[in-house]
Structure 1
């Protein structure tokens, strides 16, 4: 369904759209940010009016469902709002506002004594609005679940790459050194010992990598707690040249399990990126649990990068943003070349637990 032009709106629709948009602005709603979203709202208002007229022309017992372009339009709205980070709660609040704005307009021509007619119009309006909210909310969830699946696939791909690039590489070096050891065993015992020592070093490195990957796969925040799990990860992966600290304020135990696990994965990814790419000397992690939201930061003093560079602002960053978005949170990354990087995530666990 293409957005309707202003001229295509009925006079009643234009009146409702103006009042609706003004009410959303007063509320500070994110749904009035951008011409595309405003155009969607105008389409929705006209469509709801048309839907009410259709519902009033049939029996009250006849259910009506959105089909074809009308259904696709509302499905696309849900996915578009997910991409913009607009939570379905915002859509539900807007739906309530639309009902409050539209009901006086569509019932004003009824005689004051026609309570049955007012009830029918009210019910038709409610059904028309909530049918659209339900479709948009379902597509919102489906969009985020697809993103989460992509994040999990990315995590599996990363582990497979670690096994291939590091473990298999070290095992290959080990085998090569063992072959050289056999070659030198009789003719040059000293060189043979060097080769066997090098093989042992390569094998030790491969075993350390396997242990680290195994620990990542089996580690559960619920079992050890968020701070202890993060500390264990840093102790296992941060080189001796990197100092790190973890500061926790508030009661982490009040966080729902899904928030704990996803928050750990976000902070671990931010920490891994710093250790891999930033060459830091210090890492500072903090977790601040409030009454209904948790804020966490990972700050390094490394080389930093240009966040506008698509090659640098990739890697594990999309999965971090998507994990935060799935829990109705916001993730912000700031970095300047030569001045380190700061990753901050804020998750409203009261909403995430719904």
Structure 2
């Protein structure tokens, strides 16, 4: 058990077993991972060497605490920063996988420790040791999972930033670079024609002026999009700005939001906006729809949202759903404990649906 100062009860015998029986614990641990088909052992996320290193690190620290060699574990914040700073690459396992694996390691450690205690150990002492091992191992595992979760989110933030930079770079190349090329060529032709064909030279000068104005308008549009693509003024306003900027002329759109935004924590609001933004961009780019609708419903317990178009619809057999940014949308929703689904609409079109659980203030 842990005292008021964060120190755990000492059990040298349990510490000895954790040290001496590592391979027995590790084999039981791997067996459990195989049984649950954990991605840490059946996927590509973790090598056998990394799996052993992580398990040995957890059990070695637990043994030190049980012997009293470490007064207490690090503060949570220090633990997170130490794990992140000591890692040159992102932690591969999804936080859910890391936690499930931690529970399996804890179970294996408790089982082996109890089995190898001195014969005749009282039931009361066995229970105390088992509880202490469980608390210490899970404390360590929880801290590692938190570090994994923070690292996972930082990685996703970097990926999002990269995708945004790439999108703006593509837009600037495809549109602004073209306009500036027209300006340059038109001015060169103006200089070439102005002495021998004044009328033709004048047309080239007018074209250069028009292209320059379009380039300036384009830069203003980018600046405006950067300024408005945020949720600090509320989800409804952010979505309305998104539709105004993203939906081309000739396509109708509608944004509806029911419920009170005060129930949305900032991080949920931001992530939901990014999911809906991706859905809107997909509808604009791929559906060919003449109308796009975004609907959000908020209650104290749940937020639901959908992006609906009336375009060409989905055909899973022809691969139209590939490359639509669905994996990033699903990951964002999954991290918030929600569900995501992309389904065809009756009569044509598609609907991206999101459902996220919310916690009331008194439940937090």
Shorter-chain TM-score above 0.5: yes
Once the two structures are TM-superposed, the CA of residue 192 in structure 1 deviates from its matched residue by 3.7
Pairing 1:45-194 to 2, within 5 Å after superposition: 60-62=67-69, 79-82=92-95, 86=96, 115-194=124-203
Pairwise CA distance, 1:98: 5.9
Does the aligned pair in 1 maintain the 2:184–2:208 contact within 8 Å? yes
Residue 177 of structure 1 contacts residue 196 of structure 1 at CA under 8 Å; is this kept in 2?
yes
Distance 1:341 1:192 in 2: 51
Asked whether the 8 Å contact 1:147–1:322 carries over to 2, the reply is no
User: In angstroms, what is the RMSD of aligned CA positions?
Assistant: 4.9
Q: Which residue of 2 aligns with 1:292?
A: 301
Query: Could you tell me which residue of structure 2 aligns to residue 240 of structure 1?
Result: 249
> 5+ unaligned residues in a row in structure 2: which ranges?
1-22, 44-50, 74-86
Question: Residues 208 and 262 (structure 1 numbering): CA distance in 2 closer, same or farther, change over 3 Å?
Answer: farther
Q: What TM-score comes out, normalization by structure 1 length?
A: 0.66
Q: Distance in 2 between matches of 1:108 and 1:199?
A: 87
Gaps of 5+ in 1: 1-8, 22-30, 66-74
- Give the paired residue count: 312
Q: In the alignment, is the contact (CA less than 8 A) between 1:307 and 1:334 conserved in 2?
A: no
Deviating more after overlay: 323-332 vs 262-271: 323-332
Deviations 1:176-220 (A, max 9, x none): 223333344454444344333433443343233322321232225
**Secondary structure at 2:311 match in 1:** coil
Residue 246 of structure 1 and its aligned partner are, at CA, apart by 0.8
TM-fit CA distance, 1:167: 0.9
C-alpha distance in structure 2 between counterparts of 1:204 and 1:253, whole Å? 42
Q: Distance in 1 between matches of 2:39 and 2:343?
A: 28
Deviations along 1:102-159, one digit per CA (max 9) or x if unpaired, are 79x8799997975344323321232234433433443244234323312221111211
**Who is 2:284 aligned against?**
275
What is the TM-score normalised by the length of structure 2? 0.65
**RCO (CA 8 Å, sep 6+): is it higher in 1 or 2?**
1
